[in-house]
Structure formats: C-alpha cells, structure tokens
Amino acid sequence: MTNPQRLVVVGNGMAGARAVEEILHRGGDRMFSITMFGDEPYGNYNRILLSGLLAGTDDAEEIFLNPVEWYRDNGITLHAGVRVVRIDRFAKLVLADDGSVTPYDKLIIATGSRPFYPPVEGMWRDNKTLTPGVFGFRTLDDCAAMVHHAREHRRAVVIGGGLLGLEAAHGLRANGLEVHVVQSAPLLMNQQLDTQAGHVLRRSVDKLGITVHTGQRLTAIRHENIVTGVVFADGSTIDCDMVVVTAGIRPNVGLGIVSGLTVERGIVVDDQLRSIDDDDIYAVGECAQHRGEVYGLVAPLWEQAVVLAEHVTGHNPHSAYHGSRTATKLKVAGIDVATMGLKQPEREDDEFVQFSEPRHGVYKTVIIRDDRLVGATLMGDVSKVAFLMQAFDRGLPLPEERIQLLFDIGTPAPSVGAAELDDDAQVCNCNGVSKADLVTRVRAGERTLSGVMNATRAGKGCGSCKGLVADIVEWAAGGKIEDDPAANWYVPCIPMDKPELMAEIRSRGLRSVSAVFAELTRDGRPDAASKMALTSLLRMMWGTEFVDERDARFVNDRVHANIQKDGTFSVVPQIKGGVTTPAELRRIAEVAERYDVPLVKLTGGQRIDLLGVRKEDLPKVWADLGMPSGHAYGKSFRTVKTCVGSDFCRYGLGDSTALGIAIEERFKGLESPGKLKLAVAGCPRNCSEALVKDLGVVAVEGGRWEIYVGGAAGAHVRKGDLLTTVDSPDEVITITGRFLQYYRENARWLERTYAFVPRIGIDRVRAVVVSDSEGIAARLDAAMQASVAAYRDPWLEGEKPVTPGQFRTALPLIDLPQVPVR
C-alpha cells in the first residue's frame, strides 16, 4: 500500500502493546504506520510481575515484554514519557504535553488505570506529589521507589487488603520490613472471597508474619516531612515510616472526557471495542467499559485485543467481543488462590460444595447452577484449577459426584495441576511422555489436543492420563487451545458423531466398511485407523446383514486370539462363570504340552490363558481343546466372574454362579465399544468384586439382586453406580441386556462404561433402562435379542479358514544364511 493509514495508540501498557502485537500479527505493519504514546519512559512491561520485582523474585530485565528495540524493529514510532492531553476528533489529531500534534486515521486508547487514593488528610504534599514515604503500587517507578525506601525504613502500613495490597505486603515483608495490612472491609480480598475463604486466607497471611487489621477505616496519615504513622476512625494509630496505598484502581478516562467521548466508569465501547461516539476511536483494557463491565484482569484484555485487531485490520470485520467470564489463578503473597464467577450461591437451588481446612490453609468451593459451573474458589490447593477453569469457561459437563470437582478421587496417580507439575514429570506412564515433551509441542505451534497427543503419543496407551494431558496442553497454550472438532467424531476420517453417523449409515443402507469409506469420507478412501471402530459399529447395527470384510478387522479379530509382544497369541477357552471340570482341565493340560505352550496362567477373569501359541497352531489348538472361544481378545463381552454362591458358601444369599453362567451364555462374544467385564456376587461381601465391573450383580437378602454399572478397577478405578434392584435372575438378564445395548448404541468408540455412565449420568441411564423413559426399551431388547441370535463361535473357523493364509505366520523364520564364499 502506498499510503498506509496512520494508527496512533495512546497508552503503552499491557493493553496497548498487546493490541499492537495482535495488529502486527495480522499484517498490520503493511496497513498502518504506527505511533505509540506512553506515559512511562520505558518499553512495555508486565505489570503483573511488579510484585515479584518488589519481593526480589523477579528482576527488572525479566518483566519487560517488549524492549525499545522491538518498536524500532516493527517500524513503530514510540514517544515514551509523553502524555497525550487531548484528542481533536474533528481534525483527527492528538495533542501531547510535549507540544506535539500527531494526525491519525485510527486511534486506540489504552490508558489503563491509576491507583485510587482515599481522600484523607496527610496523603498529599501538594497537588501532584504524595507525602514522602507514601507510595502507590502501579508502575515500575513506584516499585523502584518502594524498594529504595524500604532499605532504610522498618515498618510499613499497607492500606487495602485486596489482591494488590497483599502482594505489596508480601513483597515488603521479603524486604525485611514489619508489615501491617489495613482493610476497611471485615475480610481480606472481600471482592473475590466469601467469609470463610477470607478467614482461611487471613490465617495463612498471619503465618507469613504480616499483621492484618480488618474493619479499620483510615482517616489520616501523620507526617513530619516524612510519614510517621496512620490514624483510624476509632482513634487508634499505628506508627510507621512507610505507607503503601492499594485501595483500588480507577480507569484513566480523563482523555476520553475532555475529548467528548461517552464515559461512565470507563470509555464506553461497542462489541468491536469502538467508542460509541466515534468509529475511528477504539478503547481497550482497563480504561474501556463494555456492556457495563470494566475489567481489571489480564485475560479479558487479551480477548479484547484480539477482537480489536481483527476489526481494525479488516481481517474479520464481524469479529465481536461479548464480554469475558473472569477467572483468575494467582499466587497472593505466596498463597495459591484461584477464583472464578460467583463467590457464593445466589439462588435457592444453586448447588454449593464447600471444603474448609483452615489449619492447612486449604479452602475450596464450587457453585453449580443447572449442571453448569458458575463459580469456584480454590485456596491453598489449586490442583483442580485447570479443569474448573475449562468447565467454567466452556460449560463442560460436570461429574455426577460433585466432590470430584474439588478432589481427585480414585485415580491411580496423585493428580497434580498442570502448572505445578515439574517439567520432567512423566505424564503418560505408558509411553513415557513428560510434561516438557507436551509443552515443547505446544510451543512449536501445535494448538489442538489431538495434535499434541498424536505427535507425542501421550494418552495413547491406557488413556488414564488424557485429562492431565488436556490440562497441560491447555495450560501451555495459555488457554488458547483450539477446539478440536474431531474430538466428538466416532472415527477420525468421518466428521460425524456416533448418532449422526449411525443415522447416515442406516439411511444409506451401508452394510460394509468399504461402503462407508466410499460414501462418507471426504476423499472416498479407506482409513486404517477407522476400520476397527467401523467394523464394530456395523456389526452391532446390521447383525447378520453385516457384510464382513476381514481386512477391516484388527488382527485379534481375524484370528480370534490376542496378539502378544513377540507376535504369538494367547488362547483363552470359554470357562463360563469360572466353573470348569476335570475333563476340561485335562484337555487344556494336554494341549499345553502338545503345542509347547510357554506359559499357562490363570486370568483375573477366572479363566485359563495359554500364552505364546503360534498363529499357525491356533486352529489345531482350538480343535484339540474342543472348547468354545472365551473372547479374551476383542472389544467385546469378555467374562462374568462369580463367587461360589449359595450351593456351597455358608453366607451365600443367591445362586451367583448359576446366574453368572447364564449371563455369560447369553451375551458371550457380543461386540461393544469397549471390552465388558462383568461379575455376580452371591452376597454383599462381594468376593467376585462386582462393584468395580462394567456391570456387577450382587445378591442381597430377600431374594433380590442389585445391579451396578460403570465400575472399573484397571487403569481407572471407579465404584459402579447402583442402577436398580430387581427380584429375579430373569430380570437381571433383561436389564443387563438392555443396558448393554444402550451402551453399545451410545458409547463412543473405546469408551468404557466407567466413562460412559458418568457422561450420560446414572439418573438418565436408569430412566432409559429401568423406567423406559424414552419408550425404547422394547426396541433395545429386540436389538439385543437379534445380536444374541446371530452369535456363532469364531473358533469354528479353525476348521475352514475364511481367507487364504488366515493363520499364516507374520514373522516367518529366515532360512539359515548361506556360508559366504571366500
């Protein structure tokens, strides 16, 4: 462009500089010649780190976001230390206190805030200068002056017990001063915290050696050239030689007022961050008021800067800011505090979960309305903050057990918040992926969870770390994680969730995996990673009408055995309910010897596993065993573990063994989204561990049976939810079949019941399966009956292989090498 537009930015703080960065990022350097005015004689720095600078934990070098060279390198004219005093909107000029006049085409006001000084006697020496020894806490200069003053003085009073006041107190304490915090409200951080949290925080602050005075209103600052003390409304005093005023901030709106812009608490802007009076003037950050809100946090400012840049560059003229849900996580005086949304329940039916442990400085609450997180406070232990922030921000579904929002319960490894985790901490214990590996990927530009998971293989083993991986990726991306539309797709190559995909398959009558690829993928080509999931789905949907293509099966399902690390297979014959006979045991023993089976092992599901069988031996092994398949290899119904029940056990209340055998007989080998492990216990002693099974049945006194669903005791541990209690084994089988069919139709691929049941919610599952709330019970029962009727023992294929070389080894032995000829 030959004549770039003139963009003038008033304010060189975090908002102004961020807005310019976002504009440059969208090619703004070609569109605009940019001029920036900054009140302070520096480049741009991170104001949030000033408290670290005061405490001596950060140094001045580190807090600069953009040094002066950055402005030069990006062709920005920076007037540092120059204050703009007026805008002539009609001539489109800005007038500065150095007498300069600068024309603009587009103007951004980002003047931020200034400290609020309560009107008390002794605060000011003259119109512009504070009494010596009195400080605000806003700028780099304030901070430097405080550090300098603190060296030769010993007792400081901080006016204001909010966030900034506590940070100042902590910093001064680190400088060796005796520190008092004076708060006019009855609580510390009363803006963000409820009463209890305020008390817990106060205990923690006390422990830092900071004296807190609440409910005290300052009336005067005593001084003799320099500060000597403070006086309160009740007449009491504190002697001191330093006062820091952190009693709130006020937006800098003077420029807006004198220039004729609409100003309420801040400069009033529309959804594009433009002044409502002037389309060429934008306001962003703490000086802007959007839909009645003025934000004093950094996250909303980032969001505003993006919208502003999208709009002013024309990159996306429809970009709009709709306000921010403010969630903060900070260290206040070394104490972790995270708050979001409401601090206490407002309506009668708001759910409120509260945990308080003042002695350890831990306090947590969540507030839930209509199943959505609307507020949370975490103090002392913020390990759950990443999930809560996501849930708050995006309205994610919440765990049915609300306590899980506050604590990790029943997870194998102690879950640690993403931010606190050490870089070298191993996150994925299956594939050995560390936090640093994940962060590196994000820094390299990967912005979706699945992208990071694919690149690092984190979460691709047992999957139990997926939540933590998601937290870390989100944290590393600074919350700017891109929604991954593929996350809800049933298979990666077709952009549909499971219900959509099923409807499409049904309406088009697609009965084979290749037909699905041809009709529903973008390029009509097969996708190896989607084959197994589609095979399972189509078989479930079509039963005997399914057109079975063997190449779409995983190897286990091609040869009906479980592949082992050396390419051999494990063979588990069916032993229903864990009940066998001497004759069967004899045959198993003979087979093990005949085929040199290297390992014979009892499984957790009460069966016998022959491990290390060569693929080519499988048909002979099956024939010699003369037993049906135990299906210990597929994403399917696996086993029913039972206790000895009422025939022999002196405690047995119900015949768990017979019921277990009946269940396994009916549902054996049924394909499903994830494997299914069941159990039946003859009494509440639960010897068969029915409470931690995908579906567990427990006999209770009175001839009744409890049915639990969604339990697990593997990579993930979860006690099943009580679905219902029924009066007879027949009802157990009916409800079991209906639940399994509901799970088959609605669970995502590889979603075990321990994830599926809480996702749907046990109440909903119960309504559908037990009370037939959707009127689908009869259809579910019929679909299950069809699947059961279509069952055929796959080991019969051993007699007549289905494909050429079905049982041919995939690791053929190499002929002995020939002796080299000399």
Nearer to other proteins, 401 or 484 (CB): 484
Q: How many residues does the chain have?
A: 822
What is the chain's Cα-based Rg? 34
Which listed residue (322, 815, 819, 822) binds other proteins by CB under 8 A? 815
Residues 669-688 that bind other proteins (CB under 8 A): none
Distance CA 388, CA 479 (A): 13
Distance CA 48, CA 62 (A): 12
Distance CA 752, CA 638 (A): 13
Nearer to other proteins, 583 or 814 (CB): 814
Is 546 a binding residue for other proteins by CB under 8 A? The answer is no
Nearer to other proteins, 235 or 812 (CB): 812
Distance CA 377, CA 386 (A): 13
Is 563 a binding residue for other proteins by CB under 8 A? The answer is yes
DSSP string, 521-587: SSSS---HHHHHHHHHHHHHHHGGG----GGGS-HHHHHTSEE-TTS-EEE-B--GGG---HHHHHH
Nearer to other proteins, 277 or 549 (CB): 549
Nearer to other proteins, 460 or 748 (CB): 460
Which listed residue (817, 819, 821, 822) binds other proteins by CB under 8 A? 817
DSSP state, 438? Answer: H
Which listed residue (231, 555, 649, 715) binds other proteins by CB under 8 A? 555
Is 498 a binding residue for other proteins by CB under 8 A? The answer is no
Nearer to other proteins, 136 or 619 (CB): 619
* Cα–Cα nearest to 212, from 181, 234, 239, 191: 181
User: Residue 812 Cβ, how far from other proteins at the closest point, in Å?
Assistant: 5
- Residue 394's CB is within 10 A of a number of other CB atoms, namely 11
Stretch that binds other proteins, among 61-69, 404-412, 557-565, 631-639 (CB under 8 A): 557-565
Is 787:670 a contact under the CB 8 Å cutoff?
Answer: yes
Nearer to other proteins, 123 or 513 (CB): 513
Mask of contacts with other proteins, 565-604, x by CB under 8 A? xxx-------------------------------------
Residues 793-812 that bind other proteins (CB under 8 A): 803-805, 808-812
Nearer to other proteins, 583 or 813 (CB): 813
**Sign of the C-alpha dihedral, residues 633, 636, 642, 646?**
negative
Main-chain dihedrals φ then ψ at residue 147, nearest 5 degrees: -60, -40
Nearer to other proteins, 211 or 514 (CB): 514
Is 73 a binding residue for other proteins by CB under 8 A? The answer is no
Distance CA 162, CA 412 (A): 38
Residues 730-759 that bind other proteins (CB under 8 A): none
Nearer to other proteins, 565 or 800 (CB): 565
Stretch that binds other proteins, among 28-36, 293-301, 495-503, 559-567 (CB under 8 A): 559-567
Q: How far is CA 741 from CA 457, 460, 577, in A?
A: 32, 27, 21
Instruction: Identify any residues that bridge with 77 across adjacent strands, giving them in sequence order.
Output: 35
Nearer to other proteins, 551 or 596 (CB): 551
User: Residue 555 Cβ, how far from other proteins at the closest point, in Å?
Assistant: 4
Is 610:570 a contact under the CB 8 Å cutoff?
Answer: yes
Distance CA 637, CA 631 (A): 7
Distance CA 657, CA 679 (A): 10
Is 432 a binding residue for other proteins by CB under 8 A? The answer is no
Mask of contacts with other proteins, 324-363, x by CB under 8 A? ----------------------------------------
* Cα–Cα nearest to 396, from 419, 375, 424, 372: 372
Is 114 a binding residue for other proteins by CB under 8 A? The answer is no
Residue 47: how many CA atoms within 13 Å on its side-chain side? 20
Which listed residue (197, 502, 552, 653) binds other proteins by CB under 8 A? 552
Distance CA 30, CA 695 (A): 64
Residues 515-534 that bind other proteins (CB under 8 A): 525-529, 531-532
User: Residue 500 Cβ, how far from other proteins at the closest point, in Å?
Assistant: 22
Nearer to other proteins, 613 or 733 (CB): 613
Residues 446-475 that bind other proteins (CB under 8 A): 454-455, 457, 460
User: Residue 806 Cβ, how far from other proteins at the closest point, in Å?
Assistant: 8
User: Residue 462 Cβ, how far from other proteins at the closest point, in Å?
Assistant: 12
Number of residues that bind other proteins (CB under 8 A): 36
Three-class HEC string of 366-401:
EEEECCEEEEEEEECCCCCHHHHHHHHHHCCCCCCC
Distance CA 441, CA 451 (A): 9
Nearer to other proteins, 514 or 734 (CB): 514
User: Residue 573 Cβ, how far from other proteins at the closest point, in Å?
Assistant: 22
Which listed residue (72, 125, 331, 550) binds other proteins by CB under 8 A? 550
User: Residue 751 Cβ, how far from other proteins at the closest point, in Å?
Assistant: 18
User: Residue 556 Cβ, how far from other proteins at the closest point, in Å?
Assistant: 8
Nearer to other proteins, 548 or 793 (CB): 548
Distance CA 460, CA 457 (A): 5
Is 76:51 a contact under the CB 8 Å cutoff?
Answer: no
Name the one residue in this structure whose structure tokens are 């993928």.
521
Is 436 a binding residue for other proteins by CB under 8 A? The answer is no
Q: Which residue ranges make up the site for other proteins (CB under 8 A)?
A: 454-455, 457, 460, 514, 525-529, 531-532, 549-552, 554-556, 558, 563, 565-567, 803-805, 808-815, 817
